[in-house]
Amino acid sequence: MIDVIVAGGGPTGMMLAAELRLQGVHVVVLERDAEPSPVVRSLGLHARSIEILDQRGILDRFLEHGTRHPLGGFFAGIRKPAPERLDSAHAYVLGIPQPITDRLLTSWAAELGAEIRRGAEVRGLTQDPDGVEVELASGERLRARFAAACDGGRSTVRKLLGVGFPGEPSRVDTLLGEMELTASPETIAAANEEVRRTQLRFGIMPLAGGGYRVGVPAEGVSSSPPAFQDFKNQLKAVAGTDFGAHSPRWLSRFGDATRLAERYRTGRVLLAGDAAHIHPPTGGQGLNLGLQDAHNLGWKLAATIRGRAPDGLLDTYEAERRPVAADVLDNTRAQMTLMSLTPDALAVRRLVTELMDFEEVNRFLIEKITAIGVRYDLGAGGPLAGRHLRDVRVGQGRLYELMRDGRGLLLDRTGSLSVARFTDRVGHVPDPAAELDVPAVLLRPDGHVAWTGDDQPGLNDALARWFGAPVDG
């Protein structure tokens, strides 16, 4: 029997498949599309996602194809200098088109042994106390212990489960595409500067490989995907010219629909990524949020399958990740309001612009968008508990270099603590020179702090809480 069927071969699905394979779990990824999509829905990775890639040892692959951009304040498109001393060793935005991100994550999952099937569309799903049966459009049936829905905002699996997806439908739509423009770079730059004074959903960006990425409001355009003539007409209406647009590579439209699944788990099926939440792309948080869902879910689901999970571990996935998604939905709602052209919204935008001159306000908002500020509620445990620990220097190099096997880790300045009965799940690094403000820190496989302190009984309790029963002998 398959251990986990992952429905959806986008970035969330591939990240989850790779995380499961790190733990030796048998994974089959079912992707409906026969070929990868050329559509560039996302243009970058934020600090928390970059940290995750570094923890798993694949960041260099992304840096090779991406461009580092300084991390400044950009809430609702309001530009401010970067706040100082952000809690990350990767305080930058990595510009990288989503098709490249998709390709790199797919390659990584395949290297680790994930079975990836393209052109495999899920049509039916049933489950019982022992497993899940998935029916494909071809008529083939597959059975697994668990399934994960990573199949996007229109998730077939979520609908088959009957999970509600409450929220608001799209009210503001934008056309987006890649094409060639004959207008001069100077003309395009001047139009960007002028039009964006009053229309923040307009933008033209040159692409590294040639051509331009163009966004323009979709008011009055009903077709989806839009016709190229519709696109040119909208450019003329908003900017006074179509900039000599020709040779479109792809065209799409997106809206500001905002929805959150009523639950992330139904029996043996779990939701992640856009299958669990959708929101406007403001701030570039969508793809990143899905990667972080998968990073949280993978080790917990693997521990459950291997029989090592303590009671309730899998349920902490929803308990931790759903509030994070709800916060992202709220901040994108706020950003879309601040990008409106109504007098009330413009007045609030001017006020927020002034408030962002205070460093702590700017820091709060940038940590929210980049997920640096995410802290899971683990109860007691001090100020670090629940936070993601930054990459710190240790005697053996860097902390993240020690986390690439997907296990937990005890970073121990005291040298007197022990994980002797958990060595199959937790590594131990005694290092009195580690860059820590606490005697020792226990990290979960996702890099979040499970415990800090210097007492063995407290450590034992944390180990049992997150890693299950100790091994005898």
Q: Where are the domains of the chain?
A: 2-167+259-370, 174-254, 393-467
CA gap 173, 195 in Å, rounded: 18
Pick the CATH number of 393-467 from 3.20.20.150, 3.40.30.120, 3.30.360.10, 3.40.50.720: 3.40.30.120
Question: Do the Cβ atoms of 221 and 254 come closer than 8 Å?
Answer: no
Q: 2-167+259-370 domain in CATH 3.50.50.60? A: yes
φ/ψ of residue 52, rounded to 5: -60, -45
The reported pTM is 0.94
Kindly report, residue by residue over 282-299, the tens digit of the pLDDT. Answer: 889 999 999 999 999 999
* Residues in the chain, pLDDT under 70: 473
Instruction: Specify whether the CB–CB gap between 436 and 399 falls below 8 A.
Output: no
Question: What does the block give as tokens for 43?
Answer: 């243009």
CATH of 174-254, one of 3.30.70.2450, 3.10.20.340, 3.40.50.970, 3.30.230.10: 3.30.70.2450
pLDDT score at 196: 86
* Cα 26 → chain centroid: 23
What's the pLDDT at 254?
Answer: 86
What pLDDT, on a 0 to 100 scale, did the predictor assign at position 209?
A: 78
Give residue 379's pLDDT. 83
Hey, how many other C-beta atoms are within 10 angstroms of the C-beta on 244?
A: 13
Beta strand 174-180 with 212-217: parallel, antiparallel or unpaired? Answer: antiparallel
C-beta atoms surrounding 271 within 10 Å: 32
- Give the model's pLDDT for residue 473: 55
